[in-house]
Structure formats: structure tokens, C-alpha cells
Structure 1
């Protein structure tokens, strides 16, 4: 076969192969962009399914079995402090006592209501009932803050002080994430304001209809800061968990009110949503070319501005002290983004990484150390 015929044959074979590859990558990208919309962008205020069945209970222990048809986010056998609820009652799970034939027995403290064997329940990261008084017997006021899209709610635990801490929860979470330290803030004689923001259950929807990962939510935090200033705040520390960390950082980058910020406390902050999506794709074994196409399609289909959700690239513009914490086994937000943030601000960031700990679960594993770290940081920078 002469060279001309060979080249024709090669082109004849390569063109359809290349076409198939392009179709596979585009089709995979289209599908994964839809997954991204459903699992990442779409607003979700559902508290979650009941994932365990209570098989036995005493005054200080509880025995659980995983419901086999569902997957639990947390391993039942991890000796960390979790909440457990059946939707009405609330308790705390402590250390693992035994594990035998699918049955897990753990230390248990009943906080509210009653649990019965045979009923279903779910784990929660917040091991307290759902308001400051039920959790810590803290008197609080439900306040409403005038924000750009409408009023947002907040818990205000007020003390006689001009120091304020404003707390911002993460995606699919809620104000409950603040309960782990509200009693510590009260003991420090610091006002605490735990806020909702757009797309929360009782808050106005965003204009996009999706989570904006801090691109717009920072305006609601700005409204909360203005509320605190109007009420006499002179010292303000901002706390952000996961996506709430991105909200806090973007507020600090964009708001003229950020001049009033004394310091930031960030746990597993989502500083670059594109990197978070890349991590999720890797966890699902999605090839990089498909991920890249999916992100491009998400821009066209759902209006995602990847550059606007990259706060990491502007880390060097942050000019206040930061307490930064991240679990090394975080399967949601890449640990590397926090490492890079700390490296960009070596004189401002106090960084702590925790082996074996997952997403926004440092307090659950190390509550005493966590509270000591946070309170000492606040005392230094208030």
C-alpha cells in the first residue's frame, strides 16, 4: 500500500474516532453539568433522610443499626460527638462502646423529648437542640435585618459589650452550626449574631435561583454588620463555615464596612468553587476533560461565573488576622485551598489542620480544643 493510500486510510479512521471522542466528552460534560446543578447549585433546605434505626436505649447508651438501603454520611463507629434526632426529640452521641454484627452502641445523652426502640433517626453535626435557649439556656431574640432582597432572620444573644461576633453558616446548613460556640461567646461577654441569608428556608430567594457561593450572599452579611454597627458595635469578628467562609471572605474583599472587621474565623472555607467542583469530580472518578467541559457548560446553562467565585486568588488582599481550621479528611472542600490561603498570608493566618477529621467536623472530634482555640483567638483580637 503506497503512502497516499495509507494517509487516506488513517484520516478515514481517525475522523470518526475523533468524532466519537468529542461526543463522549461533550455528552459526559452535559451530564455532569446537570449533576453539578442538582447537587451543587440547587437550593436544598431538606434536613435529610433518617439513616439509622434505634434498636435499644438506656439512660446513657443507645444502640443503632444503619438502614441498609441508605448511605450514612458519618460512620456510625466514629467516636466523635454528634447530634441525633427523630425530628422531634434530640440527643447527643458520644464515644463508641461496642460494634457487633452491624449494631453500634454509643454513649448517649438525652437533651429533649424521648426516643424509643424501633424508630428511625438521623445524625446531625450539631449535637444540640435547635435554638440557643434549648441548647445552652441562653436568652436570645429573633431579630430581622433589612437586606437587599428582603428581611433575613437572625439569633441575637445580647450582652453588655460593644464586641460582636457574626456567624455565617454553610451551604445546606443553617444557624444551628453556631450553637457549638454560642455559650463560649456569651462567657467572653461578646454579643453574637447568627444570621440567615438568601435562599435559607425563611429568607428571600436569590435572583439566580441558585446558591451563589458568596458572590451575592456577602450583601446579606453586610446588612448584618450594619445592624451591629447601628446597635453600637465597635469590634466585629466574623465567623464562616464552609460556603459561609466564602461569604465572609468575599464580604471582606468587597464591602466598605469591612474596615470595621477585627478578625476572621474560618472553618473549611469554600474559597474557590471551581476547585471544590474538581474535587467532587475526582471523588466520582470523572475524567478531567469531562469536568472541564461540564464547568464550561455550567457557565452557559446556569450562569456560573467561575472567576467571581475564586476568592483564593485574592487572598493577599485580606488585611486582618485569620484563624483558619480544616479537617484533613474533608471530602467536600479541598484542604489544599486552605493551605494556599495560609501560605499567601503567613503573617496573618493561624492555620490548624486536623488529621482524620471530615468537613466542618473539627468541633465534633475535638470540642475542648476547638473551643479553647476560638476563645483565645477572640480574646487576642477583640
Structure 2
């Protein structure tokens, strides 16, 4: 009898443990799915400022800053520091000294909120603090979208042209992110529209402020295509950075104005969200099985009621590699094996699947969207050469 009671108690305990484990797995999966579709209300400023040393002969606009050593603060190249939720910004320049815990760098061109009292910053990949830094004519524009006006910058090429580029930044990135491409295309006769899309600061909010990973945002690019068409565009290149790459491809595949599209330029693109989300979960030591459960939630009817998404997210629609046969545009893909946000394998597989269309440039040391920062000469040569070929094709 005692043995039977022991067995029953053990069975009950095991059932309870199994139920608890199942609930824990479900909770983690739900949390992951919510993080995927939920944009932060405030931008994180994760890099700690250890010390600020303004130049003695200056006004505080330049000097030396000691930052906590992180992957980003230690990276090669020039960047933008932002603080106070973007109310302050400055250029982060060359490295001077590194230790196990800190990185000392030059900074310059402080704008906005007081830098002297800053305790933490975030780093944006663009070296430009704003569109003004390009030294090119520009104007603010508003694109009529389905949810309201989408702000943007228009940077014209010199002279008359019917060639346009629409530049699409990545998830949570600044509007300056795509500016590295603009001077290269402007000198080749391409007008530029650098656009915001739903849920960006100053842009209309999407459904409950949730991202669609490209499955909803592409409609804003569709509106931008209509806008440039009304201004004489006959040929358009969609330039997408990170998640902006996914948006660009969806717009090319779905837009009623897709006949305008003559090329895609994709920088550090998210081409396979299944792979990317499982890989990102692995960086957090979350097992792939739990990540896959979270992905199933994204695509289920619960996406609306539980996650607040505008629609279930069919990640198969976003798998550009699986849909490679549907592509019909010359495509430049720039990616890095050093990317810690989006695995490079998606770019590699797309290049292998469509060598007839894809020009692939692979970097090694560069972090996510920081290819230009690591090797600007090579990056600009690759982009310029590709646009030269596209220009020649348009003239033939």
C-alpha cells in the first residue's frame, strides 16, 4: 500500500512538473512572439559613458569620450552617438585607446541636448547626424499613406531625371541610416526619397503600434512609389537596410506600381525571418524548439487577439530565398559574416539561388549595417559599380 501511495505521489509530482514545464515553455514562446511584433516605446541607450573630456580650446562640441567597451563601441569606423531619446547627437570618431573594459574615442559636432551630463548613449551606424551633412540640396516631403502622411526627405540629383531611389531604413533605426547611399546615386543621376513608414517617429501608427516585419510596411513603400510616379519617375531602385530589405522585396513583389522597379539594393537584409528569429533566440540561449513555437504563434489566429498584430504573420511570405524564383530585378546584396543581428546565410543562399540576378558582396569584420563604416572604399566601389551597370542598362 505504501509503495502504491509513493508511486501515485511521484506520478502526481511528475504531472505537475510536466504541466509547469509546459506552461513555462508556452510563456517563453509567447514572450518571444510579443517581442518580435512590439516596438519599444523608447529607444534603448545601452552604452555607458565613463568619462567625457572636452577639448580645452573648444566649446564642448568636440573632445574625447571614454565608453564602456561593447561590440558596437569598439567597432571600426565613424558612427553617430545619440542620447536623450535622440534630442542630442554627436559624431563618434576614431579609436584612441582600448582596455578590457573601456574604449576611448574622439567625438565631434555635438548638437542638441547637453552632452556634458550624459551617462549613456546608443550608437547609430550612419556617420551623418542629419540630411544636412550630405551637402546636397534637400527638402522635407509628406507622402500620402493609408494611415496618414509619411514624412521623408527628397534629395534631387543634378539636372532632370526620371530615375529615383526609395531608401528604406531598418527596424528601429534612424532616418539617417540610408544616407550613405544617397551621394553615390545623386552623382549618377538618381533622385532620392528617404522615407519613414508606419510606427516611425512622426509617422502614423500602425495597428496597435505593432510591426509586420515587412508584411504591412510594404504598403507605405507602395504609397511612395505612387508619389514618385506622380513626379515623373520611370525607373525606381528600392534600397532596403536590414528589415528595410524585407520591406523592399515585399513592395517589389506586391505593389501595383512594381512596373517602375528596375532594381533592389539590400544592405544587411533580413531575407529569411524564420532563420533570423531562431538564430536571434539562440543568442539569448533560448532553444530552437521554443523559438519555433513562438514563430507558430506569429502565424496563428492568436496573433491578432494575443499579440495585437494587425494580421497573422506568414513568415513563408517573407522567405525571400524560398521565393527566389519570383524575383525579376537586378539585385545588389551586401552582407557580412560578422553580422550579429541577421545571419549572413540568407544572403549567401539567395546569391547561390539566383546568380543570374544577384550581385553579392560579402564582408567579414563588419557588424550589422556597419559595412560602410568598416571599409567605406570597398562599399562605395561596389555600390557605385552596380549603379553604373544599371544606368548603362537603362540607356541601352
Q: TM-score range by the shorter chain?
A: 0.7 to 0.9
CA distance in 2, matches of 1:33, 1:230: 44
Give the alignment's TM-score, normalised by structure 1: 0.86
44-53 or 189-198, larger mean C-alpha shift: 44-53
Taking a change above 3 Å as real, the CA distance of residues 120 and 368 of structure 1, as seen in their structure-2 partners, is: farther
Which residue among 53, 59, 62 is the counterpart of 1:56? Answer: 53
| 1:31 alignment counterpart | 28
| Farther-moved stretch of structure 1 (80-89 vs 16-25) | 16-25
- Residue in 2 aligned with 1:358? 367
User: Within the alignment, does 1:140 sit opposite 2:138 as a pair?
Assistant: yes
SS in 1 for 2:73: coil
Residues 12 and 292 of structure 1: CA distance in aligned 2, closer, same or farther (over 3 Å): farther
Whether 2:363 is the aligned partner of 1:341: answer no
1:84·1:93 contact (CA, 8 Å) conserved in 2? yes
The residue number in structure 1 matching 2:337 is 328
Q: Where in structure 2 are the equivalents of 1:177-216 lying within 5 Å?
A: 177-207=177-207, 209-216=209-216
**For the structure 1 residues 258 and 22, does the alpha-carbon distance in structure 2 shift closer, same or farther, using more than 3 Å as the test?**
farther
Q: How many residues align?
A: 368
Q: For 2:386 and 2:129, locate their aligned partners in 1 and report how far apart those are by CA, in whole Å.
A: 27
- In the alignment, which residue of structure 1 is the partner of 2:149? 151
1:164-206 Cα shifts (integer Å, max 9, x gaps): 1110011111321122222223222321001111111111222
Equivalent in the alignment of 2:272: 272
Partner residue in 2 for 1:46: 42
1:331 Cα deviation (Å)?
Answer: 2.0
Mapped partners of 2:20, 2:67: distance in 1: 45
- The verdict on how the C-alpha distance between 1:294 and 1:16 changes in structure 2, with shifts beyond 3 A counting, is farther
Unpaired runs of at least 5, structure 1: 67-71
What corresponds to 1:127 in structure 2? Answer: 127
| 1:83 paired residue number | 80
Secondary structure of 2:232 counterpart: coil
Shift of 1:296: 2.6
Contact 2:150-2:204 at 8 Å conserved across structures: yes
- Structure 2 unpaired stretches of 5+: 392-396
Contact 1:139-1:157 at 8 Å conserved across structures: yes
Query: Take 2:339 and 2:8, find their aligned partners in 1: how far apart are those partners?
Result: 47
Deviation at 1:22, TM superposition (A): 5.9
- In structure 1, C-alpha distance between the alignment counterparts of 2:324 and 2:8, rounded to whole Å: 49
CA offset digits 1:289-338 (Å, max 9, x no partner): 22222223343232433333333321211011111011212222121111
Task: Specify whether residues 331 and 15 from structure 1 end up closer, same or farther in structure 2 by C-alpha distance, changes over 3 A only.
Answer: farther
Q: Do 2:91 and 2:129's aligned partners in 1 also have CA atoms closer than 8 Å?
A: no
| CA RMSD across the alignment | 2.9
Quick one: structure 1 residues 371 and 112, their matched pair in 2 at CA, closer, same or farther if it must change by over 3 Å? farther
Decide whether aligned partners of structure 1 residues 10 and 113 sit closer, same or farther in structure 2, where only a CA change above 3 A counts: closer
* TM-score, scaled relative to structure 2: 0.83
Matched, 1:166 2:166: yes
Residue 226 of structure 2 is matched in structure 1 by 226
In the other structure, the counterpart of 1:369 is: 378
Change (3 A) 1:11 1:250: farther
The CA distance in 2 between the partners of 1:80 and 1:375, in whole Å, is 20
Q: Is residue 82–residue 90 contact of structure 2 (8 Å, CA) maintained in 1? A: yes
Moved over 6 A (4+): 9-16
Please name the residue that 1:69 is paired with: none
The alignment partner of 2:36 has SS state of helix
Match of 2:25, SS state, is helix
Q: Post-superposition shift, 1:155?
A: 0.5
Question: Conserved in 2, the CA contact under 8 Å of 1:62 and 1:106?
Answer: yes
How many angstroms apart in 2 are the aligned matches of 1:258 and 1:236? 9
- What's the counterpart of residue 394 of structure 2? none
The structural deviation recorded for 1:26 is: 4.2
Q: Distance in 1 between matches of 2:150 and 2:107?
A: 35
